[in-house]
């Protein structure tokens, strides 16, 4: 059994991750930390969990007895914690995304297998990268429009999202830097938040260096993502298709009149493929398990 702990287990991503780990056939969760809820029973604070764990403050002596620790803490808080850990680490924050193994299993499976610390990608970055990566050598420039449910902003509301859609960062979103590291082309990215609780959609407008056909692009994507949680689908995918699943669905594939532009749509559950389930995928690979272990779900 893999002995695991979650630091920051009471937030949206942390509690979603904890639920997955408690159901995982090869994992025994031995620590769930939350400074604000220390001493309280996990089952009484998080609905849908039935376990005997209590929230506790981080104890590094105890954490270093584990096989893996997940860091589901605010950005800027993970790096000093990781420096004190001797076990394997999966960091769901942005702290290590530019300097450590980048945790998209569809692209970096082999590197993840041998990594001691894996940086889980951001939710927007995951959807945008998966929507374009198989074509990155053909892309001249791109525009990525992202829209997410408000759970992506954490438990403290920052916006008046009820019955609303907000373009909350026109340029300079922090996920842009990790996307730049994955792409070799210029792009623009703007994120939006809507009144849905969860789910995330990326609409990618890709300007290409040469003419392409929609069917050839779909075939290329299908081969690239074969055997992964990213699936090419018919038509235009919507977020309801992937809610409560670890999948990314990619569709659209409409070619512009010039023949050198294509529009591709990707959808994920921002709390799962955009955070918790992708973290479990990474853990599975780090410990020699099938990437899908403990994440079986409808297609």
Write out pLDDT tens, residues 96-143. Answer: 999 999 999 999 999 999 999 999 999 999 999 999 999 999 999 999
> Which residues make up the CATH 3.40.50.720 domain(s) of the chain?
2-120+275-286
Q: How many of the other CB atoms lie within 10 Å of CB of 246?
A: 22
236: Cβ contacts below 8 Å, ≥ 6 apart: 251, 252, 265
What would the pLDDT profile of 189-234 be if each residue is shown by its tens digit?
999 999 999 999 999 999 999 999 999 999 999 999 999 999 999 9
Band the pLDDT of 170: cuts 50, 70, 90.
confident
- Say whether 214 sits in a helix, a strand or coil: helix
CB-based contacts of 248: which residues, under 8 Å, 6+ apart? 126, 127, 130, 229, 230, 231, 242, 266, 267, 268, 273
β-pairing, 261-268 vs 200-208, is antiparallel
Contacts of 141 (CB under 8 A, 6+ apart): 185, 186, 187, 207
Architecture of domain 2-120+275-286: 3-Layer(aba) Sandwich (3.40)
Whether residue 152 has pLDDT greater than 60: yes
CB of 265 within 8 A of CB of 291? no
Selecting from 3.30.360.10, 3.40.50.10420, 3.40.190.10, 3.40.50.720, what CATH number does the domain 123-268 have? 3.30.360.10
- Window from 107-116, 233-242, 265-274, 288-297 with minimum mean pLDDT: 288-297
**Which 3 state secondary structure label does DSSP give 265?**
strand
Beta bridge partners of 190: 145
Nearest CA-CA partner of 262 in 186, 187, 200, 211? 211
For the segment 51-77, the average pLDDT, to the nearest whole number, is 96
Q: Which segments of the chain belong to CATH 3.30.360.10? A: 123-268
* Predicted pLDDT of residue 154: 62
Q: What is the pLDDT of residue 205?
A: 98
Residue 168 — very low, low, confident or very high, per pLDDT cuts 50/70/90? confident
pLDDT at site 299: 44
Catalytic residues: 123
Task: Give the other-Cβ count within 10 Å of 6's Cβ.
Answer: 31
Q: How far is CA 59 from the centre of its chain?
A: 27
Under 8 Å between Cβ of 147 and 191: yes
């Amino acid at each position: 059994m893999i002995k695991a702990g979650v630091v920051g287990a009471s937030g949206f991503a942390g509690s979603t991750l904890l639920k997955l780990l408690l159901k995982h056939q090869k994992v025994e969760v031995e620590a769930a930390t939350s400074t604000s809820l220390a001493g309280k029973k996990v089952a009484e604070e998080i609905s849908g969990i039935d376990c005997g764990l209590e929230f506790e403050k981080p104890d590094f002596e105890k954490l270093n007895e584990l096989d893996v620790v997940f860091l589901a803490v605010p950005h800027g808080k993970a790096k000093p914690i990781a420096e004190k850990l001797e076990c394997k680490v999966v960091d769901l924050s942005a702290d290590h995304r530019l300097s450590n193994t980048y945790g998209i299993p569809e692209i970096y499976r082999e590197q993840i297998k041998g990594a001691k610390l894996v940086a889980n990608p951001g939710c927007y970055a995951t959807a945008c990268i998966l929507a374009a990566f198989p074509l990155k050598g053909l892309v001249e420039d791109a525009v990525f429009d992202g829209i997410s449910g408000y759970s992506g902003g954490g438990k403290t509301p920052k916006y008046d999202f009820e019955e609303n859609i907000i373009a909350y960062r026109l340029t300079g979103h922090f996920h842009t830097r990790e996307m730049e590291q994955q792409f070799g082309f210029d792009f623009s990215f703007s994120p939006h938040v809507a009144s849905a609780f969860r789910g995330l959609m990326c609409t990618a407008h890709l300007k290409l260096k040469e003419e392409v056909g929609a069917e050839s692009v779909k075939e290329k994507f299908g081969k690239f993502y074969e055997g992964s949680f990213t699936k090419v689908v018919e038509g235009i995918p919507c977020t309801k298709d992937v809610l409560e699943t670890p999948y990314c669905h990619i569709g659209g594939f409409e070619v512009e009149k010039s023949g050198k532009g294509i529009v591709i749509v990707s959808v994920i559950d921002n709390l799962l493929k955009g955070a918790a389930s992708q973290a479990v995928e990474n853990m599975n690979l780090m410990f020699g398990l099938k990437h899908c272990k403990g994440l079986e779900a409808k297609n």
